Amino acid sequence: MTTNCTSVKWVGHAKCRACEVRNFVLFSGLSDRELDAILQPIDNLRVAQHATLYDQGAEAPSLFTVRSGLLKLRVDLPNGGQRIVRLLRQGDVAGLETLVDEPYHHTAVALLDTDVCRIPREVVLLLDKTSPSVHRALLQRWQHLVDQADHFIVALSTGSAEARMARLLLTLGCHGSHPATLFPSREDMGALLGITTETASRVIAEFKRRGLIQIEKRECVDYDHTGLSQLAES
Amino acid sequence: MTTNCTSVKWVGHAKCRACEVRNFVLFSGLSDRELDAILQPIDNLRVAQHATLYDQGAEAPSLFTVRSGLLKLRVDLPNGGQRIVRLLRQGDVAGLETLVDEPYHHTAVALLDTDVCRIPREVVLLLDKTSPSVHRALLQRWQHLVDQADHFIVALSTGSAEARMARLLLTLGCHGSHPATLFPSREDMGALLGITTETASRVIAEFKRRGLIQIEKRECVDYDHTGLSQLAES
DNA sequence: CGTTATGTTGACCTCCTTCAAAGGCTGTGG
DNA sequence: CCACAGCCTTTGAAGGAGGTCAACATAACG
C-alpha cells in the first residue's frame, strides 16, 4: 500500500500572490496585504497520480483548491463496488463540507499528478466573514459543485452506455491538440458512468473503430465532437 | 394548460415568527425585531399538486423554502425525456442559484400540495451579510443540496432497478403509520431512477407480491424496512 | 525477461426496454 | 345513476443492451 506512487508531498507554503490560478481560486479579490496575513497556514501540496488526498469519513480540518491536475471524488458502495461522483479540475474546491463541521463525504484520489492548496477551515471561515469577495467566491464554488453533481445525474447516469460515454468524453474535453487531457482507465470510466469495466472497454473500442476518437499510447489525441454530440443526444 | 389544478396561489405575507417550521428554515436564529424588518417582501405561496413553481432557464429573482409538501426538480433531456434530480421537503431550499445571479437550473413542480415562502434574492443577500446565523444556515442548506445530489448519483442511479427502487422507497420514508408520505406515479419513479415507467411498475408490483410494501388506495401504507434494506445493498 | 496490472474480446444469460393491449380509477355529461 | 372518455397502471411478448465469467492480449515494471 505504501508505494512511492501514492504519496502526498509537501511542496511549500503557498504563494498565492504568484499563483498562476489566482483568478480561479478563492482569494482572487484580496489585496496583497490581506493575502500576506493568511499565507502562513496555507500549504501547497503535490498529490501524486493515484494517491489519496483524504478518505471518506475522516475528520475534515481543511479544504483544498485544485491548482492543476485532476481529482476524483469516490464513494464506496456497500457491495464492494465504487462510484465516482465528481471530477475536480483547476479552480475547483474539495472538502467544502469542512465548513459545516462534517467529516469528508468522499474519498479524494488524484487521477493525474495534482497540485492543491490546503486551507484550514478557520482561515476560510474568517475570510468568509471579513472579505465580501471571498464570500462571493465561496458561494459560487458551492453552486458549482451542485451543478457538477447535477451533470453527473443528467449526463453521466442517464441513457445508454454509448450516450453516457459520449457525454463523458465531451465533458473531459480533449480539445484537439496536446493539452494533457486525461483519458481515464476503463475501470474509472465504469465508476463514472455506472456501467461495468467491460462495457466501458467495448464502447471505447467501438468508438475507435468508428473513428469517433483517436488514441495514441493510451492517451486521447482527438475527438470527433460532432459525431459524439450526436450520440450524446440519443 | 391553465386548468385550476396547476396554479400557484398567493396566501399572504409570511409570518415567519409564527411559522411552524421556523427551526428548519433560513431565519431560525433571528430575533423578532430582525424578523419584522424583513417580513414585508416575503410571500407565502401555495403550490397546487402538479403545478409548476418555476421553469428551467427563467430569470430567478427569488428563492423558495419549502414549508410543507414536496417539490421535484426536473431537467428536460434533449431527446424529449426528463430526469428528476432532486426531491425537496420541509426545510429544503429551491432556487439558491439566484444568489450567484444565474437563471433557474431546473423546473420545479409540486408532487403534493405544497406551501413555500418566496424570498427575494436581495433579502437573502442582505441577511447573509448582516446575520451570522442566517449565513451559517445558508452554507448548511447549500451543502445539503450537494449531499442530496450525491445521493441521487450513488443510491438512485446505481445498480439494478430493484435495488434503486428499494433505495428510493427507503428515502421516501413512509415510516409505518399515517404521515402522508407520497407514493410517486410510476412515471416519476422512472424519472427519479433513470428507468422506464413500465419497469418501475413491474418492480413495484413485484414488491407488493412479495409483501415488501403495502398499498391502499394508491398510497403507501407500510414498508418492510428490513427486506428493502437488504435489496438496497445488492 | 518473467510478472503483474490493465485492456480486449467472446459466449452466454439476465435484465431492461420497447411496443402493444387490456384493465382499473376518475371525472364529466347525458 | 350510468355511460363513456381519458389517464394511469398493469401485464405480455419479443428483442436488445448490458452484466458476468472466462480467456487472451498488451502494455507497464521490476
Q: How confident is the model at residue A234 (pLDDT cuts 50, 70, 90)?
A: confident
Residue written as grid cell 424529449: B80
3-state helix/strand/coil string of B151-217: HHHHCCCCCCHHHHHHHHHHHHCCCCCCCCCCCCCHHHHHHHHCCCHHHHHHHHHHHHHCCCEEEEC
Residue ranges with strand state E in chain B = 8-13, 43-47, 52-54, 62-68, 71-76, 82-88, 93-94, 107-110, 114-120, 213-216, 219-223
A55-63 mean pLDDT: 96
Residue B127's H or E segment, with its range, is helix B121-130
Instruction: Specify the pLDDT at position A177.
Output: 52
Counting one residue from chain A and one from chain B, the pairs whose CB atoms sit within 8 A come to 96
Does residue A229 surpass a pLDDT of 90? yes
A99 to chain B, any CB pair closer than 8 A? The answer is: yes
Instruction: Specify the pLDDT at position A1.
Output: 40
Domain boundaries defined on chain B: 2-155, 161-232
**CATH number listed for the domain at residues A161-232:** 1.10.10.10
Q: Chain B: nearest CA to A46, how far in angstroms?
A: 26
Does residue A30 surpass a pLDDT of 70? no
Q: How confident is the model at residue A196 (pLDDT cuts 50, 70, 90)?
A: very high
Instruction: Specify the pLDDT at position B9.
Output: 85
Q: Is domain A2-155 annotated with CATH 2.60.120.10?
A: yes
Using an 8 Å CB-CB cutoff, list chain A residues near B128.
135
pTM of the full predicted structure?
A: 0.90
Using an 8 Å CB-CB cutoff, list chain B residues near A149.
146, 149-150, 152-153
Q: What is the DSSP letter of A100?
A: G
Residue A36's H or E segment, with its range, is helix A32-39
Q: How confident is the model at residue A96 (pLDDT cuts 50, 70, 90)?
A: very high
Residue nearest to nucleotide D18 (CA to C1'): A199
Q: How confident is the model at residue A222 (pLDDT cuts 50, 70, 90)?
A: confident
Q: How confident is the model at residue A34 (pLDDT cuts 50, 70, 90)?
A: low
Coil, strand or helix at A131: coil
d(CA A148, CA B91): 23
d(CA A106, CA A95): 8
Does residue A12 surpass a pLDDT of 60? yes
Does residue A37 surpass a pLDDT of 70? no
d(CA A141, CA A147): 10
Local mean pLDDT, 10-residue blocks, chain B (234 residues)? 62 73 63 64 90 96 93 94 95 95 97 92 89 89 96 98 97 65 90 98 96 82 90 92
Q: How confident is the model at residue A3 (pLDDT cuts 50, 70, 90)?
A: very low
Average pLDDT, chain A: 87
More confident of the two residues A133 and B97 = B97
Sign of the torsion angle spanned by Cα atoms B190, B193, B196, B201: negative
d(CA A34, CA A163): 47
Instruction: Specify the pLDDT at position B217.
Output: 74
* A81: nearest nucleotide, CA–C1' criterion: D19
Judge whether B28 and B137 are in contact, CB under 8 Å.
Answer: yes
